[in-house]
Chain A
């Protein structure tokens, strides 16, 4: 029995049907993304704070990709602090 193919079929059905729950739009998702990611990284209940975000990330591959990227970048510490300048030190 090819369980990998079976799982692939179920993923396809899920992708075709999308999330069952109410979800944000792409615009609302982008607007809330930074806040949602900071909730996640702080270990807070991001899904309760931003209802509909998780459902949208499940249903929209591009927004999910954007979320993963921001989460990974901020979490990695790569983001770092801005280089200090003479003006900002004043």
Chain B
């Protein structure tokens, strides 16, 4: 794993300018972000007004996320869409205000704030979609692995790779690693849904997934498989 980027390892730049050595991104914030910070750390009517405007922004972002996923929301009634967006905006507002001191000015304040609203809305939508559904975490629930490679040579290679992969998953991973890997990568269970069911965090589960993948790569490499081809498939 990489360490978080820190001064000295990552250029001290923002999207628009290179910062002088020793300068904090907050020192060169745009006027709008400076205004947000001033008002949200103020008091009285100015603070109350800023919080109200921030909630409007967060609600706009949450509604955008709900709208973006509308085609997958057949399980929600019309009024539920806005209730969920309101809940996401409320939770995001609490998170933004609680973390305000952590805003470093690496981006505009609004971009930083939006990510909380979009995250809250997306997480709530994923959890709602899987509510009352049994999670398919059966490690034996593998898809049809019949080879569809182009040439006999590729078919053989793919078949051997899949066979080795399946064996490594069955024999080299822990039961927990297998459950997490199969649920997320084969059965498409969202990681935050799985985290909620297993009473853990997205970060902790991703660490489990990462360790499982590392072990599989190591096993395949030890068996002499060239997995560069599959790596090329990962370009987004």
Contact = CB atoms under 8 A, between A and B. Distances in A.
Interface of A: 1-3, 5-20, 22-28, 30-35, 37-39, 41-42, 44, 48-52, 54, 57-62, 64-66, 69-70, 72-74, 76, 78-83, 85-88
Contact of A88 (B50, B143, B217, B229): B50
B98 to A, nearest CB: 15
B148 A85 contact: no
Nearest to B12: A49
Interface residues of B, number: 77
Nearest to A8: B148
Contacts of A44: 13, 15
Nearest to A54: B236
B225 to A, nearest CB: 10
Contacts of B147: 9
A35 B119 contact: no
8 contacts: A9-B149, A20-B227, A25-B207, A28-B4, A51-B5, A70-B114, A81-B32, A86-B49
A61 B214 CA distance: 17
B10 A66 contact: no
